[in-house]
Amino acid sequence: MKLTRILLDEMFAGLKDYLEVLGWRVQTVHDVDLKGAKDKDIVEYAKKHDLLLVTQDQKTAELADLIGVKNVFISQVDIAKIADDEIRKRYPNLKPVQ
């Protein structure tokens, strides 16, 4: 089985320690001097170094798909659904305002 290394885009840099605790080898765009870089440059770096890119930027994910870079796109909608699900599980008696 091939070992996968992860590249976290800027918005997910704070996840590095958590993913490392879970056993992943992780770099952030900050670690590789790509903070503020163009989407294309980040995707090309991920391809060159065979990294799985985790991003919240749809354009970055689409560029990655175009050139065959493994990627995970986590949208604001995904995050909102996770938050909603967790609120409802932890506090089943709370209801959203109608």
Residue 52 Cα to chain centre, angstroms: 9
CA pair distance 51, 43, nearest whole angstrom: 9
Residue 96 lies in a domain: no
Could you report the per-residue pLDDT of 38-73, keeping only the tens digit for each? Answer: 999 999 999 999 999 999 999 999 999 999 999 999
CATH number of the domain that residue 71 is part of: 3.40.50
Residue 3: the pLDDT is 76
Strand locations in the chain (E): 5-8, 25-28, 51-55, 71-73
Residues 6+ apart with CB under 8 A from 25: 3, 4, 5, 6
Quick check: is 15 in a domain? yes
Specify the number of domains making up the chain.
Answer: 1
* Predicted confidence (pLDDT) at residue 2 exceeds the cutoff of 90: no
- Flag whether 97 is in a domain: no
Q: Angle between the 39-48 and 58-67 helix axes, to the nearest 10 degrees? A: 40
